[in-house]
Amino acid sequence: MLSLSLQGKRALICGASAGIGRATALQLAKQGAHCILLARRAERLEALCAEIVAAGGSAEVLVGDLDDRDGTVGAVEVKLTDGPIHILINNAGGPKGGPILQAQEDEFTTAFGRHVLAAHRLTQTVIAGMTEAGYGRIINIISTSVYEPIPNLGVSNTIRGAMASWAKTVSKELPPGITINNVLPGFTDTERLSQLKKGRATNNNISEDTVHQQWLSQVPEGRLAQPEETADAIGFLVSPAAGYIRGLSLPVDGGRLKSI
């Protein structure tokens, strides 16, 4: 039986300060990985790092902004002097909501840079070490909109689709032992979802509770996901046990998607 252990592996987790990124860092540390925690908010990262270490795990903080790709890549290159990064979690906050025809050009270009170009640059940066180590796992945390566009998330739908196509293309070029997959969270109880709920309520002149109930009515499981549930799926995909899974887009959505 193949192992879920990540002992001896080093993981770079983007967007680790909150939500699914934070839960993923805790999960990978629990599986034995040394976690490099990347985000903009230093205080949150320090608190997360302390929590991981207190639980017997291993972690370090890397403050960076995915909008500053040159600076972030340079900081990651410094971390590579300590050894290869075996696991890369590409994860960034989504663009603001709204109809696509109301979106300005810079909303698309900023989001494309933050998601697709940042993931591309980071992958290019870590791939040599993965290849030399003979082990690599790249996970992109994106959205179920890859399969079914979500109303009033026009820019996000566009960028998430581009991200999935990029990843599928990369999956054909990676050497054996290195995989890339996408995880597609559904309605997940995070700060990001709370912001979207507030925005939708305001735009539609309805209560946030009404928005919440509208969302739950679409989910057969009848509840929001917890970030830890998505992190569990990621923990499997980055493990040795998932070595034959490549180029997949896995929904973690409680059954909300209508497509097969």
Beta bridge partners, 98, equal 153
- Identify the pLDDT of residue 1: 65
Only one residue has tokens 């040599």, namely: 128
Ramachandran bin of 196, using left for φ above 0, alpha for ψ from -120 to 50, beta for the remaining angles? alpha
Q: Where are the alpha helices (DSSP H) in the chain?
A: 19-30, 42-54, 69-79, 105-112, 118-133, 154-171, 191-204, 208-216, 227-237
The single residue listed with the structure tokens 């309805």 is: 206
Question: Do 232 and 27 form a contact (C-beta atoms < 8 A)?
Answer: yes
**What are the chain's domains?**
10-186+227-251 (3.40.50.720), 187-224 (no CATH)
Q: What is the pLDDT of residue 196?
A: 79
Q: Return d(Cα 214, Cα 199) in angstroms, integer.
A: 14
Torsion angle defined by CA atoms of residues 107, 202, 222 and 151, in that order, rounded to the nearest 10 degrees? -40
End-to-end CA, the chain? 29
Residues of the chain with pLDDT under 50: none
Q: Count how many Cα atoms sit within 13 Å of the Cα of residue 54 in the half-sphere of its side chain.
A: 6
Is residue 160 within 8 Å of residue 143, measured between CB atoms?
A: yes
For CA atoms 78, 84, 87, 88, give the dihedral sign.
positive
**Model pTM score:** 0.95
